[in-house]
Amino acid sequence: MRKKILITLALMFVYRLGCWLPIPGITGETYAGQAGNSGDILSLLSMITGGALTNGAFLAIGISPYINASIIIQLLTVAIPPLERWSKQGDEGRKKLNKLTRIFTLVLAVAQAIGIVINFSRGDQISTTVFNVNMKKWLVCIFVGAILVAGSMFTMWLGERITEIGVGNGISLLIFVGILSTAGISIVSVITAWVKGTDQNAPWQLLAFLLLVVVIFAFIVFVDLAERKIPVHYAKQIKGRKQYGGQTTYIPIKVNASGVLPIIFSTAILSFPQLIMSMFNMDPTKGFYKFWTNWLGTGKPIYSVLVGLLILFFSFFYAQIQFNAEEVARNIQQYGGNITGLRPGKQTSDYLKKINKRLTLFGAIFLAIIAIVPSIIFNFVFSSGTSIALVNAFSSTGMLIVVSVALEFEKQLQSQLMMKQYRGFLK
């Protein structure tokens, strides 16, 4: 276990190192101008990569293409029968889906790199001098795009290696360390401003912000661990000389089974038009871009309402994918079990559907509150001064990701320690 933890820390250190290595031919200020607004998709990507997008670093795109590819493959497994069959074929099917996910990751990384390079080249933000050598602009664009794609694929490789030889889910841990790094940098900047005397209210704002974050973290943990336990009783069965069953267990249904995915989907959909318009260098003071910014921009009332509605929709959609009431009811019936007071089969499946819908509704309302309310409070209380960097660092999505990954890492660590103890007992 000690060896696995050290390997995990070493690979995460390599990832953080790549988030600070600059790309020749482009400056960090270029990225900083593109990822400055709190809550939009570019600021979310910058937060997930630990500021690599803002730094114009080798791993600027980071793990976002892999995340999007994984989400697309998950959604396609419901719509495309061959992919659905792969998902039910065990390890062999999982290998096929992983290979398809890597291909989608490469395609999305190339598309994202091309969009970034086109945007910067149109704004004359690509330097034609690389390593003190004057080069053609198109050649520098290809060079920068290739480095961005290579960095994204290298990040995916690091995440898979952590999962394989380290502890926990590698992709989730890379996102986790990226968000914490962004938060740490923001806290250091606030403290630096206070020491230099540029913001005398910085320590009080930092203390108030941390207290609010602790309260929100506690609320997230409380709901994230909440579950409804449905008792299932299995009848006694005699097979040969042995007796099976005769015990009572339960089916756990989580309140927030979909995690942070509905928030990511909703934010990405509403921010995608603005992202496309900014990538193609459209004027934000004219036409559709101005209309979108004034009415559907981040923080606008209509934007908040649409985010809440989309979160409700995606929460129910993802719940239908994750929890199949008919299959659960069929498995209970096959093993001679029943829920007290209900007949096996359709009555059990209808009951499970009703419970799942109610819990999904509460989970969706929780996600909508977390996505909208903290951002409004933070922007209202910390709308000026150096503390605005804290608001950009600790978004609602970031806090949900941090809590979910930390709880999952703790569970996996405990399970591996438990397996080690069992092996020692058997020996």
pLDDT tens profile 360-370: 999 899 888 88
Question: Can you list the residues of the chain whose pLDDT is less than 70?
Answer: 27-51, 53-56, 119, 122-125, 199, 237-246, 275, 278-284, 298-299, 379-394, 396, 421-427
Is the pTM here over 0.85, yes or no? no
Q: Give pLDDT, residue 178.
A: 83
Task: Tokens for 315, please give them.
Answer: 């929460």
Q: Give pLDDT, residue 243.
A: 63
Instruction: Assess contact for 144 and 131: CB atoms under 8 A.
Output: no
Q: Which amino acid makes up residue 138?
A: W
Q: Which amino acid makes up residue 282?
A: M
Going 409 to 412 to 417 to 418, the CA torsion angle's sign is positive
Instruction: Assess contact for 12 and 173: CB atoms under 8 A.
Output: yes
User: What CA–CA distance (Å, rounded) separates 19 from 17?
Assistant: 5
* 153-168 b/e (C-beta count within 10 Å ≥ 16 → b): bebbebbeebbeebbb
Look at strands 133-134 and 129-130 and give their pairing. Answer: antiparallel
For the chain, give the longest Cα–Cα distance.
85
Instruction: Provide the Cα torsion 231, 235, 239, 241; round to 10°.
Output: 100
Instruction: Please state, rounded to an integer, the average pLDDT across all residues of the chain.
Output: 79
Strands of 248-254's sheet, edge to edge? 248-254, 227-234, 337-338
What tens digit of pLDDT does each residue of 271-290 get? 777 767 766 656 667 777 77
Q: Give pLDDT, residue 45.
A: 63
Residue 194: which residues within 8 A CB-CB, separation 6 or more? Answer: 200, 202, 203, 206, 386
Q: Give pLDDT, residue 383.
A: 57
User: What CA–CA distance (Å, rounded) separates 220 from 213?
Assistant: 10
Q: Give pLDDT, residue 238.
A: 65
Q: Give pLDDT, residue 7.
A: 92
Provide the CA 137 distance to its chain's centre, in angstroms.
Answer: 35
Q: Give pLDDT, residue 111.
A: 85
User: What CA–CA distance (Å, rounded) separates 9 from 320?
Assistant: 36
Look at strands 133-134 and 237-239 and give their pairing. Answer: unpaired
User: What CA–CA distance (Å, rounded) separates 373 from 304?
Assistant: 9
Q: Give pLDDT, residue 44.
A: 58
By the 10 Å C-beta count (0-12 exposed, 13-18 middle, 19+ buried), 190 is classed as: buried
Provide the CA 48 distance to its chain's centre, in angstroms.
Answer: 8
Q: Give pLDDT, residue 41.
A: 52
User: What CA–CA distance (Å, rounded) separates 231 from 223?
Assistant: 21
Residue 252: which residues within 8 A CB-CB, separation 6 or more? Answer: 227, 228, 229
Q: Give pLDDT, residue 10.
A: 93
